[in-house]
Amino acid sequence: MAEELRELARFVRAFRLEDLSEAELTAARFCVLDNMGAALGAVTSPEIRSIGETWNAWGGLGINGRSAAAWGQGYRTSLPNALLVNGMLSHDLELDDVHTGSKSHVGAVVVPAAWTIADAIGASGHDFLEAVVVGYEVMGRVGMGMDVASNRKRGWHATGVIGTFGAAAAAAKLLGLTEEETVSAFGMAGTQSSGLWAFLAEGATCKKLHPARAVTNGVSACLLAKSGMTGPVHILDAEDGGLYPAVSDSFDVSRLTAGLGKGYEITKIDKKPYPCCRTTHHAIDAALHLREEKSLQPEDIASVLVETYDVGVLQCGFEKYPESPVEAKFSIKFTCAAAFVRGRVSLGEFCRAMLDDPMVRRIADATKVVSDPLFTQRYPKRWGSRMTVTLKDGRKLTCQVDDMSGSVAVPLSPKQETDKFLGLAAAAMDDQRAAALLDAVLHLETLECLPDLA
């Protein structure tokens, strides 16, 4: 394992943006765009604004007065404060990207980590984008090295567990860490891994803390390494206290470096069309398809059966009707019912009025979510489900979704991606500035410095 971790550190040091093909470079730009949109759409969150103000009141501007923007909050602040706020913004709306192989939200960690550091040190768009690519690569590979299904069943949130490595890789690249320092940073990143699913049963709002802490902990690991502290090279596989045996039933360290540099994980990213847990999306796709293609009317529905992978049942297949918009984002029953009734699943569907809608409640209560061997066996390579709707007249309508909209197999078009960004950025800025930011992100490698997003 020591050699695999060192090989990742050497990759971080050696990678150059010029190694990418034009298609891979475009994928990287759009990953930044997608996650920046998700973050900017959340800038009016009262909870995050309050947290940022509290943290800002307790922290100064850091060494030599360096500061970084807290996105859309109207101020610049110390690096730790900005990292925390920007990390939370990236995950707040549940619209950030998904790397299916590691069952994690890579962009919600790597993009705010890289952007905030680049902002603080005045790095170029070229250097920022290099940090993004290596962050995606390292975080994705560390996640793929473990059994992500068992990790979830143990109650861990993979984004928090592996995100520290992605943030550390991005920070190491921007801060110019040596190979030895990068290895130590990975060791200290892993020892700070965290993130548990207990929030879900209570509808608590702290899930966004997981990527935010991964951001701050991964970056702090690099600053500690640069200051001389060392971290364990066997952080992943140590018999006593290794991360992999602690959080997973099995692991395969060869996946950390297999094919490294011959293709990039940043090209294997799902983008969300709906603002809710990705595990609900296949069923939403099916509901919208049956509603549109079969002219299905919600009042005609007697019952709905959704067959999916076992982790999907655990995570989003609750019998209980959601009590809050937070819980609704993790409910297949609710999101499908909303799709049937409204013909869409947007931010507007996650509100008290929709939860109280009698037709939505009726269909959700008539929906059953169960596991199916086909989808369980495919997971996490493919996330899918089969929906069977029984009508009041006895007829049955079926739709199987093997690859969700927004997946690598069924990607969003460039127009869909830019429209998503512009729609979300409207919460933070006017149309003219949003268009300018869009253009900047799509030409990142040409920028001398990043736009100020305070």
Q: How far apart are CA 11 and CA 8, in angstroms?
A: 5
Could you tell me the pLDDT band of residue 10, with boundaries at 50, 70 and 90? very high
pLDDT per position as a tens digit, 411-440? 999 999 999 999 999 999 999 999 999 999
- The residue extents of the domains of the chain are 2-272+414-446, 278-401
CB contact set of 240 (below 8 Å; sequence gap of 6+): none
Section 369-396 average pLDDT: 97
Domain 2-272+414-446 part of CATH 1.10.4100.10: yes
Which pLDDT score is estimated for 61? 55
Q: Map tokens 């207990």 to a residue.
A: 198
d(CA 209, CA 328): 19
54-109 tens-digit pLDDT: 777 766 554 456 789 999 999 999 999 999 999 999 999 999 999 999 999 999 99
Per DSSP, the chain holds a count of helices (H) and strands (E) of: 21, 6
| Residue 411 DSSP class | P
Q: Which two tokens stand for residue 150?
A: 């068992």
DSSP H or E run through 115 = helix 106-121
Please choose, from the candidates 267, 265, 248, 115, the residue with its C-alpha nearest in 3D space to the C-alpha of residue 193: 248
Q: Is residue 445 within 8 Å of 125, Cβ to Cβ? A: yes
The percentage of the chain sitting over the pLDDT mark of 70, rounded to a whole number, equals 98
Q: Classify residue 181 by its DSSP letter.
A: H
Comparing CA positions, the residue from 284, 267, 427 lying closest to residue 345 is 284
For the segment 126-176, what is each residue's pLDDT rounded down to a tens digit?
999 999 999 999 999 999 999 999 999 999 999 999 999 999 999 999 999
Q: What are phi and psi of 329, to 5 degrees?
A: -70, -10
- Beta-sheet pairing, 396-401 with 385-391: antiparallel
pTM: 0.95
Looking at domain 278-401, its CATH superfamily turns out to be: 2-methylcitrate dehydratase PrpD (3.30.1330.120)
Interior angle at CA 441, CA 274 and CA 53, nearest 5: 70
Query: What are the distances in angstroms from CA 10 to CA 4, 56, 123, 303?
Result: 10, 36, 21, 55
Looking at residue 160, what DSSP letter applies?
Answer: H
Distance CA 289, CA 315 (A): 23
Distances (CA, A) of 288 to 6, 19, 285, 335: 47, 41, 5, 11
Question: 401 pairs with which residues across the strands?
Answer: 385
At residue 450, does pLDDT exceed 50? yes
Mean pLDDT of 281-306: 97
Burial (CB < 10 A; 0-12, 13-18, 19+), residue 7, is middle
Phi, psi (5° rounding) for residue 235? -60, -30
Q: For residues 192 and 161, give the distance between their C-alpha atoms in angstroms, rounded to a whole number.
A: 8
Structural tokens at position 421? 């960004």
Mean pLDDT of the chain: 95
Interatomic CA distance for residues 441 and 451, integer angstroms: 9
pLDDT of residue 344: 97
